[in-house]
């Protein structure tokens, strides 16, 4: 569930006022006793204080002393999530939120932390009514914000939560065909042109990577094409977003150990991200020509499943020696990267839960990323990463890493050696590009098994806030 945002009158059960770190509390409309209580809590270094004033509560939330604007915004998001926990624990349903001597970006960051932190996936819980959070609405009172701005903000939150729901869906409720259907419904409702290629069309296009991964499945693959092309687009060539859509990954014949398989319903998080991004961009009428591509299948073990040692042919004619069937995502992404060439793109970005190496390298606090021929766009993406706190860890794409992908019997192997697995995966993808290219490995950030503030538990929607901020910056610079 997402929070509702409104500027309409609301009989709020609590109010929250955001103020600077050194705000003169004597200026607050509080009684002497309340001011004394507030002063005691400040002495205890509390950065927010809840003051009971029946039948309402008043919450005062201070900004942080952090040096950068990005760090202060992240503090507000996490602070909003913490205050949300207090409100839910007391059964509050709504909150009036305002600010004094505080920029609107801090106000919206606080609201964002509350909205995303309030997310729950209770679809299959018989006790969902008891577990459901009480908080449902925020009244934001700030004359600097327009209704259109607030509506756009609420829509982004709802779209991100839609993506989280997709990632949290189990395979028996979301195979490749179901994923394509859900993506199409969402995209079409936002005005995005949608086409879903069936297995027959995929075979006609000779998408050997996608078809190989699908060989062990009883369900057919899909390839979804989404396009947003407004009349006022500021880019003459589209930005293409490609999302890995492996709805479940057993590892295939290179079977994963059971402890590594339990959460593999999240292996389609890239597809959820790109679908949410283009839907949100279209809903906001963003003046950019965008395309999103989603190759989708599950990777299972069956009598006809592809096996280590097989040689497959990608749709551009590249032959690949498969040494590990658990390195399957790059195979279907190769077909999508090849298909992207038909759009003569300005930039292509891949989103994929691709390697365990990315997780081992930096953990869940950032996205492993690399680029080729896209230095300016990559710098802008890094800037957006700090702004929304979906930070980018830049890795090199040196040519020497491609040596690990040389095969004796085919053009490429699908894995490199034991070192730098996230980079050799990126180099594999790079082979299929002839355009500016950025690769985002969201393996560590797309799904959390332990709650982390507003990022929550389970699907996080990794890459969505990052890319929307990036695309808006990109459009403004045209």
Catalytic residues: 256, 330
Q: Which residue has the tokens 């009428």?
A: 285
Dist CA 349 CA 429 (whole Å): 11
At CA 117, angle to CA 143 and CA 24, rounded to 5?
45
Enumerate the H helices of 44-171 as residue ranges. 69-89, 104-117, 128-131, 147-168
CB 419 within 8 A of CB 395: no
How many other CB atoms are there within 10 angstroms of residue 407's CB atom?
A: 15
HEC states along 320-339?
A: EECCCCCCCHHHHHHHHHHH
Cis bond upstream, residue 448 (ω within 30): no
User: What's the distance, CA 240 to chain centroid?
Assistant: 16
- Nearest residue to 193 (alpha-carbon basis) of 232, 235, 228, 159: 228
* Cβ-defined contacts of 63-66 (< 8 Å, 24+): 63/18, 63/19, 63/20, 63/21, 63/102, 63/106, 64/21, 65/21
| Sign of the dihedral defined by the CA atoms of residues 167, 170, 171, 177, in that order | negative
Alpha-carbon distance values, 377 to 234, 328, 374, 381, 473 (Å): 15, 28, 5, 6, 10
Distances (CA, A) of 387 to 71, 89, 105: 8, 30, 10
Q: Are 288 and 201 in contact (CB under 8 A)?
A: no
Tally Cβ neighbours within 10 Å of residue 211: 23
Strand pairing of 347-352 and 437-441? parallel
């Amino acid at each position: 569930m997402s929070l509702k945002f409104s500027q309409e009158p609301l009989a709020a059960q609590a109010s929250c006022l955001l103020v600077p770190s050194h705000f003169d509390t004597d200026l607050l409309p509080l009684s002497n006793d309340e001011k004394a209580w507030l002063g005691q809590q400040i002495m205890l270094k509390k950065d927010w204080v809840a003051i009971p004033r029946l039948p309402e509560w008043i919450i005062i939330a201070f900004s942080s002393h952090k040096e950068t604007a990005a760090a202060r915004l992240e503090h507000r998001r996490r602070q909003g999530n913490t205050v949300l926990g207090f409100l839910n624990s007391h059964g509050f349903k709504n909150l009036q939120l305002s600010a004094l001597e505080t920029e609107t970006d801090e106000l919206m960051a606080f609201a964002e932390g509350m909205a995303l932190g309030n997310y729950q996936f209770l679809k299959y819980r018989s006790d969902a009514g008891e577990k459901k959070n009480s908080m449902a609405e925020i009244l934001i009172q700030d004359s600097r914000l327009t209704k259109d701005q607030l509506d756009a903000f609420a829509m982004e939150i709802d779209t991100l939560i839609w993506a989280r729901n997709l990632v949290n869906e189990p395979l028996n409720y979301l195979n490749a065909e179901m994923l394509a259907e859900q993506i199409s419904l969402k995209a079409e409702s936002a005005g995005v042109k949608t086409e879903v290629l069936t297995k027959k069309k995929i075979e006609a296009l000779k998408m050997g990577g996608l078809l190989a991964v699908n060989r062990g499945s009883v369900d057919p693959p899909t390839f979804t094409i989404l396009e947003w092309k407004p009349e006022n687009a500021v880019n003459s060539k589209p930005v293409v977003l490609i999302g890995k859509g492996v709805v479940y990954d057993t590892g295939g014949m290179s079977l994963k150990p059971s402890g590594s398989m339990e959460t593999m319903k999240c292996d389609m998080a890239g597809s959820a991200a790109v679908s949410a991004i283009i839907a949100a961009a279209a809903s906001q009428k963003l003046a950019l020509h965008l395309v999103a591509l989603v190759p989708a299948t599950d990777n299972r073990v069956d009598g006809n499943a592809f096996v280590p040692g097989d040689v497959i042919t990608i749709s551009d004619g590249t032959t690949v020696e498969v040494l590990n069937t658990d390195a399957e995502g790059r195979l279907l992404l190769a077909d999508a990267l090849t298909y992207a060439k038909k759009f003569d793109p300005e930039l292509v970005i891949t989103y994929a839960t691709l390697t365990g190496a990315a997780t081992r390298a930096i953990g869940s606090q950032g996205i492993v990323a690399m680029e080729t021929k896209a230095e300016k766009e990559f710098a802008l993406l890094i800037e957006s990463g700090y702004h929304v706190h979906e930070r980018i860890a830049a890795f090199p794409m040196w040519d020497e890493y491609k040596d690990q992908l040389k095969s004796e019997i085919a053009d490429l192997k699908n894995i490199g050696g034991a070192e730098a697995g996230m980079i050799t995966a990126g180099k594999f993808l790079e082979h299929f590009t002839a355009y500016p290219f950025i690769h985002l490995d969201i393996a560590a950030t797309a799904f959390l098994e332990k709650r982390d503030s507003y990022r929550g538990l389970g699907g996080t929607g990794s890459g969505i806030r990052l890319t929307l901020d990036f695309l808006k910056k990109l459009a403004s610079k045209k």
